[in-house]
C-alpha cells in the first residue's frame, strides 16, 4: 500500500491507497505495472509544528489501528508539504514508525508537468500536485480552486503546462480577521445561511461570509475563463470546497481527494521511471601498477576500475518550458 500526506498550514490530510492488482489480479499476469487505484482510508488532522516525532507517530499509528491497517503493509510514502519546519519531523516519523524513506515533492522529483512560473521554485508543492491530478483526471485546459488556509487558483494549459495562478486569503482567515477587529460581532460557524438577507447578527454574518466569498471565487474564475476559454474545466478541492463549490456558477467538479490522487500519480511516475542509461565503465590502470608490470615478470596487478560520474537528474522546477 501507499501512504500519501498533504501537509498544509492548518490541516494535514493522510490517505492510504491499495494496489490495483489486489482488485484485478489479471493485470499482474499481463505484466502491467501495478497502480495504487483504491483509496482505502483517509484522515484529516491538525498541523501542529511543535509536535514531536513520537507524538506524530502515535497519532498516525492510532489512525491505522482504527482502520484495521498495519504499518508494515506500507510499501512507500510520498509527502507534499508547505510547512518546511515539519519536514524533518515527518521524515523521522516515516523512518521510525513505517521503516520507509519518504519521497518529498521537491526539486528533482519527476512530476511530468512543465512549470512556466518566473521562478518555478516559488510554486507551492500542493499547487503542483493539484494541477498534475486535475490534468490527469479531467484534461486541459483546467483551473483548480483549492480552498485551504489560502484559496489558490491554479491554471493548466491544454498541453499540460502549469501556467501560474492567483492566491487569495482563505475564507477562514478572512473571518478571523473580521472577528478580531470588531468588538461586538460574535464568532459564527461558516456555512450557507437559510436566507440571503439576514434577520439577526449571526445570519447577517453568515450571509456576508458565504455570499461574499462565493462572489469573490466566481468573479476570479470568470476572469480566468475569459482569458483561458470557456471550454476550461474548473475543479474545486480543499476543506471548504464542498461548501462553496455547489453554489458556484462555474465550478464543475468538487473533488475532495484531488491532492491525494495527485500524490499517487507522482509517486507512480517516479517509481516506474526507468533509470538513466549510464555511460560505459572505463578501466584505468594506475601509473604505479603500469611501472610494476613493466619491471617485474610477476603476474601484473589488477587494473583499478573507475566509474564515470552519474549524470545528475534534471531537477524540477529547473526553469521555464514554453511552447511556441
Of the residues 6, 126, 146, 255, only one is catalytic, namely 126
Annotated catalytic, 87?
no
How does 153-175 read in b/e, with b if 16+ C-beta sit within 10 Å?
A: bbbbbeebbbbebeeeebbbebb
Tell me the pairing of strands 142-147 and 233-238: parallel
How many angstroms separate the most distant Cα atoms in the chain? 106
- Whole-angstrom Cα distance, residue 100 to residue 177? 41
Residue 269 vs residues 20, 263, 266, 311: alpha-carbon distances, Å: 16, 10, 5, 20
84 in helix, strand or coil? helix
Choose among 164, 170, 122: nearest CA to 146. Answer: 170
Q: Angle, to 10 degrees, between the axis of helix 201-228 and the axis of helix 171-181? A: 140
Q: Point out the residues that are catalytic.
A: 126
Amino acid at each position: 500500500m501507499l501512504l500519501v500526506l498533504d501537509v498544509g498550514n492548518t490541516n494535514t490530510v493522510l490517505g492510504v491507497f491499495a494496489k490495483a492488482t489486489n482488485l484485478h489480479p489479471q493485470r499482474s499476469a499481463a505484466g502491467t505495472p501495478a497502480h495504487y487505484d483504491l483509496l482505502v482510508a483517509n484522515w484529516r488532522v491538525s498541523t501542529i509544528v511543535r509536535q514531536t516525532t513520537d507524538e506524530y507517530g502515535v497519532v498516525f499509528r492510532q489512525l491505522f489501528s482504527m482502520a484495521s491497517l498495519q504499518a508494515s503493509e506500507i510499501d512507500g510514502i510520498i509527502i507534499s508539504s508547505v510547512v518546511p519546519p515539519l519536514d524533518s519531523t515527518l521524515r523521522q516519523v516515516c523512518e521510525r514508525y513505517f521503516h520507509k524513506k519518504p519521497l518529498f515533492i521537491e526539486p528533482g522529483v519527476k512530476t511530468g508537468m512543465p512549470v512556466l512560473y518566473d521562478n518555478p521554485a516559488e510554486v507551492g508543492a500542493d499547487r503542483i500536485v493539484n494541477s498534475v491530478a486535475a490534468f490527469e483526471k479531467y484534461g486541459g485546459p483546467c483551473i483548480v480552486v483549492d480552498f485551504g488556509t489560502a484559496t489558490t487558483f491554479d491554471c493548466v494549459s491544454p498541453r499540460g503546462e502549469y501556467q501560474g495562478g492567483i492566491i487569495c486569503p482563505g475564507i477562514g482567515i478572512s473571518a478571523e480577521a473580521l472577528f478580531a477587529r470588531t468588538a461586538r460581532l460574535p464568532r459564527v460557524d461558516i456555512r450557507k445561511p437559510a436566507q440571503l438577507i439576514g434577520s439577526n447578527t449571526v445570519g447577517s454574518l453568515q450571509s456576508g461570509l458565504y455570499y461574499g466569498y462565493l462572489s469573490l471565487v466566481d468573479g476570479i474564475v470568470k476572469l480566468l475563463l475569459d482569458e483561458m476559454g470557456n471550454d476550461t474545466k474548473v475543479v474545486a478541492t480543499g476543506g471548504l470546497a464542498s461548501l462553496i463549490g455547489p453554489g458556484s456558477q462555474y465550478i464543475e467538479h468538487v473533488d475532495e481527494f484531488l491532492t491525494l490522487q495527485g500524490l499517487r500519480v507522482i509517486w507512480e511516475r517516479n517509481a516506474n521511471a526507468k533509470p538513466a542509461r549510464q555511460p560505459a565503465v572505463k578501466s584505468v590502470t594506475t601509473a604505479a601498477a603500469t611501472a610494476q608490470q613493466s619491471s617485474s615478470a610477476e603476474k601484473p596487478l589488477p587494473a583499478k576500475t573507475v566509474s564515470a560520474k552519474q549524470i545528475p537528474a534534471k531537477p524540477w522546477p529547473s526553469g521555464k518550458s514554453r511552447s511556441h
